[in-house]
Amino acid sequence: MHPDPVYWRQDPWLALEKPAGLSVFPPHGDPGGDCLLARLLAAHPSQDRPDWPEGFAGGIAHRLDVSTSGQVLAARSPGDLDTLRGLFAQKKLRKRYQFVTARQVPWTQHTVQHRLAHDRRQKRRMTFERGKDTPHRGQWMEAETRLRYLGPLEGGLGLWSAEMRSGVMHQVRVHAASVGLALLGDGLYGGGSAPGPEGPQFYLHHVGLKGPGLVPPPLDAPRPGPSGRSSHERPLCPATGGDRHRAPAGR
């Protein structure tokens, strides 16, 4: 029996906690497999209704990558879901993430504005615009990510914040990698490999969303454990004594 994923409720919204390694919707090839949707419907059967739009079962309004932990929002009715989707489309929601990297840079704040598009050769990969001739598939999508250094972690790692209003696929991962901050374990974008029981895992946590009339409490991020996986027993935070405004020596 899995715990109820809903950690905050203020009609007509629900805020769910998704652990790393769990998909939001049923895994491909296993429609009855464990996922955030299945856990939501088990705890809240009223969310299982036939009039949700395709791709938004249970009223879940957005997705996170399997390896990404954190907050996922859902609506209580299709009309409320339309309202929430409108806030996403109008970029009225501020999204805040935290990520871990083993890379070092000489600055502590930076705004990345590279446009993003699908990689021309790898279907599951995105690319950023380096110039007018950058190979890509489809259209370039506008994206802006504000990066801020939060402090050091054990083992020479660094904790960073990423804030954005756009929501392009893999935006945080690509923008961070584009400026030398590939996420720890994100082999797709140059961050090496951090294997776990479900396969490679990178360290990205969605702290939460805020917008007009929508202020669910943020979720503390998990800390990467010694086994290379995230531990949910303690919050992800800078090591004691870290200066949150100045990069440590060697940055």
Residues of the chain with pLDDT under 50: 197-200, 225-235, 237-251
Alpha helix (H) residue ranges in the chain? 36-43, 78-89, 171-178
> What pLDDT, in 10s, does the model give residues 26-55?
988 888 899 999 999 999 999 999 999 999
User: Domain residues of the chain, as ranges?
Assistant: 1-90, 94-222
pLDDT value, residue 166:
87
> Which residues, including other chains, have CB under 8 Å from residue 64's CB and lie 6 or more apart?
18, 24, 70, 72, 206
The domain 94-222 having CATH identifier 3.30.230.10: the answer here is no
Tell me the C-alpha distance between 67 and 198, whole Å: 9
CATH topology of domain 1-90: Pseudouridine synthase (3.30.2350)
Cα 194 to Cα 63, 129, 200, 237, 238: the distances in Å are 22, 27, 5, 20, 20
- Whether 40 and 193 have beta carbons less than 8 Å apart is answered as no
The answer to pTM > 0.95 is no
At 233 the pLDDT is 37
